[in-house]
Amino acid sequence: MEKKLRQEPINIVKVVLFGPESTGKTTLSKQLARYYNTVWAPEFARDYLQEKWNNERKTCEADDLLPIAIGQMKLENKLAKKADKVLICDTDLLETKVYSEEYYGGFVDENLDKAAKKNQYDLYLLTYIDTPWEEDDLRDRPELRLEMFTAFETALKKHNCNYILLKGDKESRLKKAINAIDKIIEDKENLNSFSDSLIDLDMNFMHQNNDFRSNLD
């Protein structure tokens, strides 16, 4: 179980969108991925729970949280290998842990709790609740948005996570996020780049092809 929740090591900048429902996390994830010409890891829980709702007309239950966490880490580890120096994560296991605590009377699966504390990210973008509530099949508790926001910020402080608070319109949030991410990129060396990896593969192929032709001559 521990292996399935483990974050595979890779030298890239990992950024997490963090906060309550309907606060613009997915929109900003797409914007940042487009700006940095990289990939973003969507929220695995959305598809998982939408399928559950469609098939069973049931919402999230405590037993769903561990499969969701496993699916999220599998997705993150897969996409990290395709990232160009930066990976934008629409969520992480710490967010799943917060939801577990808030929705299920403080309950958190031991494996999820351990992994949420162990996995590391360079920056959290905490999204405030100054965005319109958009209802769908899965979202609930619009009247408790402030309480949920407080729970998320408390978790970041408790675990000493590096984070910035994003408020305002889309343009203001994007600009502030880019400034923070750029500073982290500047301080890191030899970041893994998927595009560089493709170039290396092309070069190796060319050398092998030239060697093959030389042997024929």
Task: Give the pLDDT confidence of 167-190 residue by residue, as tens digits.
Answer: 999 999 999 999 999 999 999 888
Residue 170: HSE in the Cβ half-sphere, 13 Å Cα cutoff: 10
Mean pLDDT of 129-157: 79
- Residues 74 and 15: their CA atoms lie apart, in Å, by 17
Q: Which single residue is written with the structure tokens 């999204």?
A: 127
pLDDT higher than threshold 50 for residue 98: yes
pLDDT at 86: 97
Q: Please list, in sequence order, all residues whose beta carbon lies within 8 angstroms of the beta carbon of residue 40, skipping any fewer than 6 positions away.
A: 29, 30, 32, 33, 79, 87, 88, 89, 90
Per-residue pLDDT band for 202 (boundaries 50, 70, 90) equals very low
CA-closest candidate to residue 23, choices 178, 172, 132: 132
pLDDT higher than threshold 50 for residue 76: yes
pLDDT at 133: 66
Which residue did the predictor score with more confidence, 191 or 208? 191
Which residue did the predictor score with more confidence, 157 or 55? 157
Strand partners, 18: 126
pLDDT higher than threshold 90 for residue 136: no
Mean pLDDT of 48-65: 83
Residues 2-38 have pLDDT tens digits of 789 999 999 999 999 999 988 999 999 999 999 999 9
Q: Which two tokens stand for residue 45?
A: 């829980």
Per-residue pLDDT band for 140 (boundaries 50, 70, 90) equals low
Torsion sign across C-alpha atoms 66, 72, 75, 77? negative
> Is the CB of residue 185 less than 8 Å from the CB of residue 4?
no
Which residue did the predictor score with more confidence, 203 or 3? 3
The pTM of this model reads 0.85
pLDDT at 64: 86
CA dihedral 69, 71, 77, 78 (to 10 degrees): -170
pLDDT at 135: 63
